[in-house]
Structure 1
């Protein structure tokens, strides 16, 4: 009975504030998928909202639901059709269920040491910070509106980030919710037209997978995404949950996260949507703004579902000012970067900084992980290991003096 009480979702102001934490990642990608791939915004919000509610109900901690980032970038750049991307979602879901059901995902986990996972988190944090500044440089104040005053937007971004950091993290007040509400009000009163709500197709579109597309989508979309999903949305996500909420995360395992992503994507793909994952950065973002239980993601899911079902509301979410979205991304970024500080050994720091640096410089997580794995093996060669150990002891002695 005591365990059940600990795992009960809460729906207070803190959980509501935490719900807005990951909008800086979700909304810009949703906007691009609507504009460049023709998805109806209502369909994306409805399917992602249902996934948010389901994960919050099951896991009892704020598990994020994010569009697959590497896949989204490739799809947006190449202009893949809704049908192709929905087929990809089903195939990706089946692949993850295969890895989960056979236990291969647990075998793969042993290759991801704490140093590698922290390196992945560092790289993602740096990329999110870069994305925040790129977002305001490109759009300035509103999504879809060309930038004409980038410097002012960057100043606003910096100021809003300081307000979020000071109010939310230092004072523990739900300022994220206040800033988001104020930003949306400014967007509505600005006279800017709401973002594109509907392109092609209806609210849902039953889409049977086209298996003849398997070779193409596997090479072009699935392979580039898989290392990022394993490293960030499964292994790092599992790590973040157990770091932040050790007493509440007994349902969070790599197999259950993989299974959740798999089932969600089969469901989303069959209904014509874009695939999702449970990014570690989004989990940390929900936590930074006050989220502690699955009530956080149930709140957000309910909002997305409502916006999708009420005619004409979908476009209004795109009126949240870009500096607000960028500030949420920066807070998200800091949450990920700060996790590296939990490493102790010099060798682990070397690996994490290398993986994070390569991820940031190349935007290629798979390459960074391969280099990190190789570097770990080199550092465990006895002469190198002894040298790093002496270096660490020397640094500690210097600090004591």
Structure 2
């Protein structure tokens, strides 16, 4: 099946086993974060899943690629660990959406990335990874035996070279345990509402989180994703255009009960590694998210074992930490020190302060002697 995408190119649309497995490659980090967010904040998981389902399909068909749609990890991670409430998360997402739409429209994305500096962006990723590990430890201590069993399972899959698949297995086991405890919920369509989980509230913490998230989004979700579209799919997609589509996503999804969403190079690479080659993967994944929205009842979520939730957060944190250090060369001591420094300050103080201090240090170090 073929159609014309937004670029006017003739684009294939395939529905096959490899597109289905490719779709799963993007869900392995999305679902654990969404479940953890729903377990720790007032967010409505069904409304969030509807947002992800709709925009997976929309942007997949729009770009004619299996483009990733994932949570803004800095903001969502801060909400999971208790630094942001859902109303603060919603306000931060709306502000980020406006900024992304404007800077993308004006063509400022590349300029902003140059000012912030990649090591600072990577440092924010590392900080969020450390915060998620801290939260994972607290959840795992609820039932240490279950947590250790889950970690052992993840380790076995990693040794077999299938560490991503381990997340789906842990999710499935947790789902079975939840169903055994709470029963199978009756399918129900989420009721349309404006800000169903709380009115957005802008605070200092929300503003700091937004600034830190924008650094990650511009570097990873816009510039790195644009490069990867060319590397993997031989498609010319501009970072500024991706910035605009992320802005539209946030401004449309959050009022309907969603969370801040972005594209991402990691999710796109995950889809490609698992076999996705067309937007068919997005359509299949979008349908899957919408189906989950109909059964994501509160009782079922409350019955999900928190220790396994901690295991899932460990996997996500390790993946995020790996992504933070992967592009930094071993011999680049200055960049390594900046990544670690921003990460540690983010853990001990907060991510916003770490981002601003990191940006200042990067600017000072980058000045000509």
| Normalised TM-score (structure 1) | 0.69
CA distance 1:293–1:359, change in 2 (3 Å): farther
Whole-angstrom CA distance in 2 between matches of 1:331 and 1:136: 14
Aligned length: 350
CA distance in 2, matches of 1:125, 1:291: 28
Q: Comparing 298-307 with 9-18, which one deviates more in the overlay?
A: 9-18
TM-score by length of 2: 0.74
Distance change in 2, residues 1:5/1:277 (3 Å)? closer
Give 1:266 shift: 0.8
Matches within 5 A, 1:265-304: 265-304=250-289
Question: In the alignment, which residue of structure 2 is the partner of 1:80?
Answer: 85
1:86, 1:324 → 2: CA distance?
24
TM-superposed deviation, 1:308: 0.9
Mapped to 2, the partners of 1:88 and 1:261 lie a distance apart of: 14
Cα gap change, 1:157 to 1:325, in 2 (>3 Å): farther
Q: Give distance in 2, aligned partners of 1:259 and 1:195.
A: 42
* Correspondences of 1:111-260 after superposition (within 5 Å): 111=115, 116-117=117-118, 120=121, 124=125, 128=129, 137-140=137-140, 146-165=143-162, 176=165, 183=170, 186-190=173-177, 193=181, 203-207=191-195, 219-243=207-231, 245=232, 247=234, 249-250=235-236, 252-260=237-245
Q: Secondary structure at the match of 2:181?
A: coil
Instruction: From the CA coordinates, give the structure whose radius of gyration is larger.
Output: 1
Deviation of 1:335 (Å) = 6.2
Of 86, 108, 111, the match for 2:112: 108
Q: Is the 8 A contact 2:126 2:321 kept in 1?
A: yes
CA shift digits 1:288-324 (9 cap, x unpaired): 3333433333322221011113575994796795557
Shift of 1:212: 9.9
Q: Which residue of 2 aligns with 1:391?
A: none
Identify the residue that residue 39 of structure 1 maps to in structure 2: 43
For 1:58 and 1:15, how far apart are their aligned partners in 2?
17
2:70 is matched with 66
In terms of mean alpha carbon deviation, does 327-336 or 152-161 score higher? 327-336
Deviation for aligned residue 1:353: 2.6
Corresponding position: 1:371 with 2:361: yes
2:205 and 2:8 map into 1 onto residues whose CA distance is 43
Partner of 2:22: 18
> How far 1:37 moved relative to its partner?
2.5
Aligned residues: CA RMSD:
4.4
Aligned equivalents of 1:138 and 1:207: distance in 2?
30
Report the counterpart of residue 293 of structure 2 in structure 1: 308
Shift of 1:338: 4.2
1:358 to 341, 349, 360: 341
Structure 2 distance, partners of 1:203, 1:131, is 33
Identify if the C-alpha distance between structure 1 residues 212 and 119 changes in structure 2 by more than 3 Å, giving closer, same or farther.
closer
Partner of 1:392 in structure 2? none
Deviation at 1:280, TM superposition (A): 2.9
C-alpha contact (below 8 Å) 1:63/1:283 kept by paired residues: yes
- 1:28 deviates by 3.3
- 1:122 Cα shift? 8.1
CA distance in 2, matches of 1:238, 1:75: 28
Moved more, 331-340 or 65-74: 331-340
Structure-1 separation of matches of 2:28 and 2:323:
14
Q: What do residues 120-147 of structure 1 show as CA deviations (whole Å, max 9, x unaligned)?
A: 458747965x67866764445xxx9643
